[in-house]
Amino acid sequence: MTVEMGLRERKKAATRDALSRAAMRLALEHGVEGVTVDAIAASAGVSTRTFHNYFPGKEEAIVAPLTDGARAVLTLLAGRPADEPVWDSVRAVLHEVVTPPERMEETVALLRIVQTDPSLVASQLCGLGEMQAEAAALIAARTGTDPARDLYPHLVAGVLGMTMRVVVSLWAGGGGDGDLPGLVDSALAQFRAGLPVPAPRPAPYAAALADPSG
């Protein structure tokens, strides 16, 4: 029975992955408005009914390669040593989640599409919101706090979700050439330091921002 369940779960995961990859590929080729649920299902070799067993709509399928990282956060966080300082756990988890993906160019292109489409932004934020609520429960259990009354687990979970989203967005904006783990470390260091106001940029840099033509 255990073997049968294992095979079934792997098959379901493979089908979901095929659907999300098909949705992403079609969105990159035709734009979001040019994608339909029927086309996604056909591209993945399944029925439209099967599609709806995995995703409520095309938007959720398109952003799945991004929101699946949020789900991975929960699994990784739950697997960290119980006596590990919570911020060390957060850092280790983020390092694993934001490792540059195999399909880096596709991921960068997808992020750019998401950032310009309100419906995709909403789907991505919804996935991150669900992750943060569950992450807060995990952090509360590790720190002996109460997620129903205490701010701390929710704030840490919020930092976790925000860091992942901002770092990946900044990385994608630079064409995928940045140091993702380095950006994570910089973000967490600033949070742990109380998010101090950074020193002003040198004058030539500020002038260049004020006058892009120069």
The separation between CA 138 and the C-alpha centre of its own chain, rounded to angstroms, equals 18
**pLDDT confidence bin for 25, thresholds 50/70/90:** very high
For residue 30, being part of any structural domain is answered with no
Say if 53 falls within a structural domain.
no
Asked whether residue 2 is domain-assigned, the answer is no
Return the minimum-mean-pLDDT range out of 46-60, 117-131, 164-178. 164-178
Is residue 198 exposed (0-12), middle (13-18) or buried (19+ Cβ within 10 Å)? exposed
Residue 168 C-beta-side C-alpha neighbours within 13 Å? 29
Determine the pLDDT at residue 118: 86
Q: Does any domain span residue 14?
A: no
Q: What is the pLDDT of residues 116-147, one digit of tens each?
A: 888 888 887 777 777 888 899 999 998 889 99
Cα→Cα distances 150→73, 119, 143, 153, 162, Å: 21, 32, 11, 7, 19
Q: What is the pLDDT of residue 91?
A: 92
Domain CATH number, residue 124? 1.10.357.10
For residue 99, pLDDT beyond 80: no
Q: Is residue 4 part of a domain?
A: no
Banded model confidence at residue 104, pLDDT cuts 50, 70, 90: low
Residue 172: pLDDT band with limits 50, 70, 90: confident
Confidence of residue 82 (pLDDT cuts 50, 70, 90): confident
Domain count, the chain: 1
The pTM for the full model equals: 0.69
Quote the radius of gyration of the chain (alpha carbons, Å). Answer: 20
Residues spanned by the domain of 91: 59-195
CA-based nearest residue to 98, from 185, 180, 182, 183:
180
* Positive or negative: CA dihedral 147, 152, 154, 156: negative
- DSSP-derived secondary structure letter, 211: -
Q: Is the pLDDT of residue 181 over 90?
A: no
pLDDT tens profile 10-19: 899 899 999 9
Question: Residue 84: inside a domain, yes or no?
Answer: yes
